Amino acid sequence: MLKVLKESIGNTKFTKKMECKLINMKKLIPFLLITVMVNFSSTAQLDYIHDNVIYKTLYPRDLKEFLISNPNVLLVDVRSPGEYSDTSRYGSLNIGRLRNSINIPIDSIEKQMSKLKSEIEKPIILYCSHSQRSRRVSKILVESGFKNVYNLNGGMSWMNQADLINFPGKKELLENSLPFKSISAEDTRTLIKEKKKLVIIDIRTVSEYKSKDTIESNNFGRIKKSINIPEVDKKIDLAKIEKYRDRDILIYDGNGALSYHVARYLTESGFKKVNTILGGIYSFIGNDKSTSAMRKELLEKTPRYKLLNVKESIDLLNSKKKVKIIDIRSSDEFNNLANRPWKKIGKLKNSVNLQPIEASLKSCEIPKEKDAIIYVYGSDEATLFCKMLSDKGYKNVYCLSTSFWSFIYTYANVPGFESIKGLMENYEGLY
């Protein structure tokens, strides 16, 4: 887990304390960790503050037209060579690339500066997995004299999940070197509907499959009609699926990391119709196009409390309903006093800070009415706190399905979500 984060974020420096924390968190959904940890910075401000100030911002919805209008553009992928070629040992990072792009990893930019400067008159588009590394490189290039620098918002992770309305030209612009199909949450939904004999294999542990894992954030359900064949050493027992050799197969795990390796193993073993879910089953929840209706249609064994993505959270917070908002981060994070800049990201308006969670159940801030609407966000303990509330009989408990960082990521990367800032406070000057 530690290595996957290091590869994902490029040249960020890790302290020993940070490494220990990551190791202790290794069972948490890697997607959540990458979303949070990809933004380590040595400065007090976050990279988003430079959007359309130092460099220009380009959205995937405008990419096709931009490439047509600028045929001499230089398209640069600043991820690691493994990510670029879909050969990273960390499966969730193998998500393809933009066609006709070149690979100059973030930690090689300084060495390649003279080569890049030979193209200084051309417009340059930079991209990565989540558009964090590309932001940093965009700033470096502008400060080195480049004038036409564009950061491609959202990165490969967003582009892969986008539909053709938000990313025209997706099919011709994206490519990968995978021997199987890695498909978006929406395409997975279509596959399940159209392929009546589809074999759906959940390769998570038995406890995760049954939503009885000791880590509550792993208990978010499973796809209906799936069978559980736990992964062992990046493989599954072929004897258990030999009878499905000629059938369409869908492999999934929590975040897509292990399903990549299992899918490759099946392909190498002669299976021809292998699919994986990009981002794993978690993409059914965290994707901004996911809805409760979609999850009800596809998933079972979901928690009694309701997991919400950022879009659903915004809808709830903007409704006229009376919502009790609870932030369970540390008091330092809640008050922007944390010693790490990436933890200083503000808070939701009208939220109260409750810690530790065990004692918080007795807090006067917890509504007495069991039908009160309670929204919880913050750290990985949010799901555990929501479970505790549900166990106490609260009927309308909602939980942000990912870290609070996802609010900032969505605001900065997804068109139409700029209003998120209106729900937040104590972030001024940070992004």
pLDDT at 2: 38
Same fold, 2-175 and 303-425: yes
pLDDT at 335: 94
pLDDT at 56 over 80: yes
Distance CA 164, CA 170 (A): 6
Domain 303-425 grouped into CATH 3.40.250.10: yes
Distance CA 74, CA 54 (A): 19
**Superfamily holding 2-175:** Rhodanese-like domain (3.40.250.10)
pLDDT at 14 over 50: no
Residue-wise pLDDT tens digits, 101-156 = 999 999 999 999 998 999 999 999 999 999 999 999 999 999 999 999 999 999 99
- What are the phi and psi torsion angles at 232 (to 5°)? -135, 120
Is the C-alpha dihedral spanning 323, 324, 326, 332 positive or negative?
A: positive
Work out the pLDDT band at 379, boundaries 50, 70, 90: confident
Mean pLDDT over residues 65-89, rounded? 97
| DSSP character at residue 110 | T
Q: How many angstroms separate the first and last alpha carbons of the chain? A: 28
**Per-domain residue ranges for the chain?**
2-175, 181-286, 303-425
Residue-wise pLDDT tens digits, 154-183 = 999 999 999 999 999 999 999 999 999 999
Mean pLDDT over residues 75-80, rounded? 98
Percent pLDDT > 90 in the chain is 76
**Superfamily holding 181-286:** Rhodanese-like domain (3.40.250.10)
